[in-house]
């Protein structure tokens, strides 16, 4: 792939950011419609949250398969196939006749969307390393983190003029645009001589070799558990803000979008100031911050505090995600060389597996309590911190060339 300078670098970052943005659009855009979907399909909050769980499971499984496949076939072909699948799945969601079919189609949609995330990250690793990898990924995260500012607002805006199906029509159009741009503008970044063997044994061997790297595993677990806690927030706040605190869909979107500013601040700080503070120091500070914010949030929820006392610790928690997502990914991927697709898949797997587990648990006590969300977020933060301290903090790097 050509060296990235000037305008080419800007175009590259925007395209990679757009591909990764498919995930938050797919997850976040339909959140304001959760109560509407429960009414339309005559079901409860937990069943609607299962559609989010199914999407997250699809994202997890899809990353493993697509990431490994991209190390064998190259990045471009698997990406284009994934985008075609995404468009078809989005169209099918519009016509889902019941909640069960809708949940199944959300799994397929998540599976297809995973290609944009895992392959774009692998491409960034293909074309950069060291400090340049940190800067590129930080910029990529800034672009990507703008989406949570927009997606719920776009979703609630669509609901002013159309029903919930309009949201999936917009997702269909987004998939078509990304497919066309990728087909005509994206070049292959992994030449044939750098690809890995295509047999199943070598694929599992690649995964096993990556996981034997103690430091990589520590970073993956720290990122995975912390981001897994985010999905408790994503799944719980549509009902908590609207049902418990009486916020409108538009007010919910505003509150949800405000946290996107925190994500951007966190991601930008790592890329901008990594020459002053190391990525490792950023990561450790953010993990302590997130755990503290999670503890405050749980206390406020148990004391039944007003809405603003819930919003503030959530903001600090989400800001920490911006730091951890950038720093942990950079530190973990730095050592992975030509198996970047498989490594990226493993880094993406755990957050979505944990998110799939936590999303329906948030509603287990009903739609009118925030306690499960507070408990999940706090303990996810605590486990993430412990994983970093026990596995990654003092480990040495084992490099895969």
What pLDDT was estimated at residue 400? 42
- Report the length, in residues, of the chain: 401
Q: How many CB atoms lie within 10 A of CB 156?
A: 23
What pLDDT was estimated at residue 399? 44
CA gap 207, 121 in Å, rounded: 17
What pLDDT was estimated at residue 167? 94
What pLDDT was estimated at residue 13? 80
pLDDT band at 93 (very low <50, low <70, confident <90, very high): very high
Mean pLDDT across the stretch 15-41?
87
pLDDT band at 314 (very low <50, low <70, confident <90, very high): very high
CB-based contacts of 191-194 (< 8 A; 24+ apart in sequence): 192/74, 194/338
Look up residue 76 and give its two tokens: 């471009």
Q: What is the dihedral of CA 196, 201, 204, 209, to 10 degrees?
A: -70
What pLDDT was estimated at residue 298? 95
What pLDDT was estimated at residue 337? 56
Instruction: Taking the CA atoms of 36, 260, 26 and 183 in sequence, report the sign of the dihedral they define.
Output: positive
Q: Is pLDDT at 145 greater than 70 in this prediction?
A: no
Beta-carbon contacts of residue 349 (< 8 Å; ≥ 6 apart): 60, 63, 64, 224
- Mean of the per-residue pLDDT values of the chain: 83
Contact assessment for residue 70 and residue 122, using Cβ atoms and an 8 Å cutoff: yes
Q: Is pLDDT at 290 greater than 80 in this prediction?
A: yes
Q: Is pLDDT at 210 greater than 70 in this prediction?
A: yes
Instruction: Taking the CA atoms of 199, 202, 207 and 210 in sequence, report the sign of the dihedral they define.
Output: negative
Mean pLDDT across the stretch 335-354?
72
Weakest mean pLDDT among 45-59, 324-338, 382-396: 324-338
Map out the domains of the chain with their CATH numbers. Answer: 7-185+200-391 (1.20.1250.20)
Q: If you ran DSSP here, which 8-state letter would residue 396 be given? A: P
Helices (H), 240-339: 249-273, 279-302, 307-333
Contact assessment for residue 134 and residue 274, using Cβ atoms and an 8 Å cutoff: yes
CA gap 299, 252 in Å, rounded: 22
Q: What CA–CA distances, in Å, run from 5 to 42, 136, 138, 152? A: 54, 12, 17, 34
pLDDT band at 202 (very low <50, low <70, confident <90, very high): low
> Is 276 or 118 the better-scoring residue by pLDDT?
118
Contact assessment for residue 30 and residue 164, using Cβ atoms and an 8 Å cutoff: yes
Between CA 59 and CA 67, with CA 63 as vertex, the angle to 5 degrees is 165
Q: Is pLDDT at 336 greater than 70 in this prediction?
A: no
Q: If you ran DSSP here, which 8-state letter would residue 362 be given? A: T
pLDDT in tens, 52-82: 889 988 988 898 888 888 888 888 999 999 9
Q: Is pLDDT at 4 greater than 60 in this prediction?
A: no
Phi-psi region of 230 (alpha: psi -120 to 50; beta: other; left: phi over 0): alpha
The proportion of the chain whose per-residue pLDDT surpasses 70, expressed as a percent, equals 89
Q: Is pLDDT at 398 greater than 60 in this prediction?
A: no
CB-based contacts of 210-214 (< 8 A; 24+ apart in sequence): 210/336, 210/339, 210/342, 210/343, 210/346, 210/400, 211/346, 212/398, 213/335, 213/397, 213/398, 213/400, 214/391, 214/392, 214/395, 214/398
Look up residue 189 and give its two tokens: 């970044």
pLDDT in tens, 156-193: 888 888 889 999 999 999 999 999 999 998 888 888 87
Q: Is pLDDT at 126 greater than 90 in this prediction?
A: no
| Helices and strands (H, E) in the chain, number of each type | 15, 0
CA gap 266, 149 in Å, rounded: 14
Q: Is pLDDT at 146 greater than 80 in this prediction?
A: no
């Amino acid at each position: 792939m050509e060296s990235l300078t000037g305008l080419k670098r800007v175009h590259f970052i925007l395209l990679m950011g757009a591909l990764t943005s498919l995930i938050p659009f797919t997850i976040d855009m339909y959140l304001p419609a959760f109560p509407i979907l429960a009414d339309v399909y005559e079901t409860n909050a937990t069943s609607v949250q299962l559609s989010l769980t199914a999407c997250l499971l699809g994202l997890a499984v899809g990353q493993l398969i697509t990431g490994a496949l991209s190390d064998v076939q190259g990045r471009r072909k698997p990406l284009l196939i994934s985008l075609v699948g995404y468009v078809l799945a989005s169209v099918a969601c519009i016509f889902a006749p019941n909640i069960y079919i809708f949940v199944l189609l959300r799994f397929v949609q998540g599976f297809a969307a995973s290609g944009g995330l895992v392959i774009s990250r692998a491409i960034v690793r293909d074309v950069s390393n060291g400090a340049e990898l940190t800067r590129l990924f930080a910029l990529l995260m800034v672009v990507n983190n703008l989406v949570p500012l927009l997606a719920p607002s776009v979703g609630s805006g669509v609901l002013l003029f159309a029903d919930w199906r309009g949201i999936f029509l917009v997702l269909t159009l987004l998939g078509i645009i990304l497919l066309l741009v990728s087909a005509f503008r994206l070049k292959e970044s992994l030449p044939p001589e750098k690809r890995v063997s295509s047999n199943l044994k070598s694929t599992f061997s690649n995964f096993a070799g990556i996981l034997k790297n103690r430091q990589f595993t520590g970073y993956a677990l720290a990122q995975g558990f912390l981001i897994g806690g985010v999905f408790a927030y994503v799944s719980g706040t549509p009902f908590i803000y609207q049902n418990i605190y009486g916020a409108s869909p538009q007010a919910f979107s505003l509150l949800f979008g405000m946290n996107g500013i925190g994500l951007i601040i966190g991601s930008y700080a790592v890329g901008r100031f990594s020459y002053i503070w190391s990525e490792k120091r950023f990561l450790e500070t953010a993990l302590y911050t997130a755990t503290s914010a999670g503890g405050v949030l749980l206390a406020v929820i148990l004391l039944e505090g007003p809405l603003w006392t819930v919003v503030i610790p959530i903001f600090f928690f989400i800001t920490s995600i911006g730091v951890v997502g950038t720093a942990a990914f950079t530190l973990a991927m730095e050592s992975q060389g030509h198996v970047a697709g498989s490594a990226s898949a493993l880094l993406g797997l755990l957050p979505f597996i944990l998110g799939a587990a936590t999303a329906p648990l948030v509603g287990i006590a009903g739609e009118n309590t925030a306690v499960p969300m507070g408990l999940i977020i706090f303990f996810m933060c605590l486990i993430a911190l412990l994983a970093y301290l026990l596995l990654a903090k003092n480990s040495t790097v084992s490099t895969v060339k």
